[in-house]
A and B are shown apart, each in its own frame.
Chain A
Amino acid sequence: MAKRSAPEVNAGSMADIAFLLLIFFLVTTTIPKDSGITRKLPPIEENDQDVVIKEKNIFTVLLNGKDQLLVEDELMEIDDLRQAAVKFLDNGGDGTCTYCRGAKDPKSSDNPDKAIISLKNDRQTSYAAYITVQNELVAAYNELRNRRALEIGSKKGFPDMDFIAMEKAYDDVKFSGNRAKLKEVIEQIKIEIPQKLSEVE
């Protein structure tokens, strides 16, 4: 008598099982997309000694409870804030800043290292307006950093990369260029144009 082969397992329901699992994961999936504006809070200091900062080095931005913007004691539209902040940071009043292209107005900031943007808000200010203002101020810093990155990047072997592209490339694991050198350039730009944004409580 011929040897009977074992009957094949019916795999017809395999697809059903897999579909069931698939649908479960489809429903529970949230593709992570978190991004935002990163800030560092100042530590609470016990002995707050008053540091003397010249009035001209402070750029005051006030956002009141009705979401109106007051920049350097004048009403301003949100669309003009970025340009005003760039103008202030880029002023280079004392001439030590070789990469500034501002008006060198002696009444405005000395150099980007000394320039401080002070942001004040009211308890009634809406969060949306606050984020918009933060966004514009970060954009002003990024605009200057991008410009500086294009200037020194071409000399250091990273042509046509602005600051954002540099940071992205540095974080990218597939980046093939000289990572240590790129880090150096990024750090240099961060030192030359530091983000000095202070928030008043």
Chain B
Amino acid sequence: MSKFKSKKDNSLPAVNTASLPDIVFMLLFFFMVVTVMREDNLLIENRLPQADQVEKLDKKYPISYIYAGKPAKGYEKFGTEARLQLNDKLAEISEIQAFINAERAALREELIPKLTVSLKVDKEANMGIVGDIKQELRKASAFRINYTTATGDAKSNLD
């Protein structure tokens, strides 16, 4: 009789986890594809204002980023007035032209006129610094600009 007795005990079999790596890999590939490594480490506060009449910024063409806002927590030594950030460090208005030229040098020739400058300005900044940036960009002949905003109700900016 004992010959036909099941050798195993009758407890539930363990769940097969062999496909777990596959699932995780799938997720991994998804995130690898959509990942854009954070380009700049922000030293300033950067809360973008909201707008609803926005256009998507075309990634087909090169984009340079200029940040402005007051220095973030931990960087109070740079003052409380709105400052400019180019790449990874705070900069002066006069450095914009050199920055644009450096950005252009990294581009293929046919893309140079297509360079768009994305202005990421904190909503609490005032127009003085934005006007200065725009004037410098005009001097550098970088005419295509984009006031980068969050998408939302524009009137909520004024509250």
Contact = CB atoms under 8 A, between A and B. Distances in A.
Contacts of B134: 41
15 contacts: A11-B21, A15-B17, A38-B57, A40-B145, A43-B141, A78-B158, A121-B127, A126-B123, A127-B49, A127-B125, A128-B124, A132-B155, A132-B157, A139-B53, A171-B58
Contacts of A37: 51, 53-55, 146-147, 149
Interface string B41-53: 0000000011111
Interface residues of A toward B: which range?
35 or more
A123 B157 contact: no
B147 A18 contact: no
A149 to B, nearest CB: 15
Judged by DSSP, the binding face of B is mixed
B127 A130 contact: yes
Contacts, number: 161
Interface of A: 11, 14-15, 18-19, 21-22, 25-26, 28-44, 67, 78-79, 121-132, 134-136, 138-139, 142, 167, 171, 201
A39 B123 CA distance: 18
B36 interface: yes
Contacts of B21: 11, 14-15, 18
Interface centre among A36, A44, A136, by most chain B C-beta atoms within 10 angstroms, is A36
Contact of B124 (A11, A18, A127): A127
Nearest to A136: B154
Interface residues of B, number: 58
Contacts of B157: 128-129, 131-132
Interface in B107-159: 116, 118, 121-128, 130-131, 134-135, 137-139, 141-149, 151, 154-155, 157-158
A123 B50 CA distance: 20
A39 B133 CA distance: 14
B53 A19 contact: no
Contacts of A40: 143-145
A21 B24 CA distance: 9
Interface of B: 17-18, 20-21, 24-25, 27-28, 31-32, 34-38, 49-59, 63, 116, 118, 121-128, 130-131, 134-135, 137-139, 141-149, 151, 154-155, 157-158
Given A124-B126, A127-B126, A138-B53, A34 B118 contact: yes
A36 B118 contact: yes
A15 B19 CA distance: 9
B7 to A, nearest CB: 22
A67 B49 CA distance: 15
Given A79-B155, A129-B158, 20 more contacts: A15-B20, A18-B25, A22-B27, A22-B28, A25-B35, A28-B37, A28-B38, A29-B35, A32-B59, A36-B54, A41-B137, A41-B144, A43-B138, A78-B158, A123-B131, A126-B123, A126-B124, A127-B122, A130-B130, A167-B55
B37 to A, nearest CB: 6
The list of the 5 closest CB pairs from A to B, nearest first, reads A123-B128, A128-B157, A25-B31, A36-B148, A128-B123
Contact of A35 (B20, B24, B56): B56
Contacts of B116: 38
A35 B57 CA distance: 5
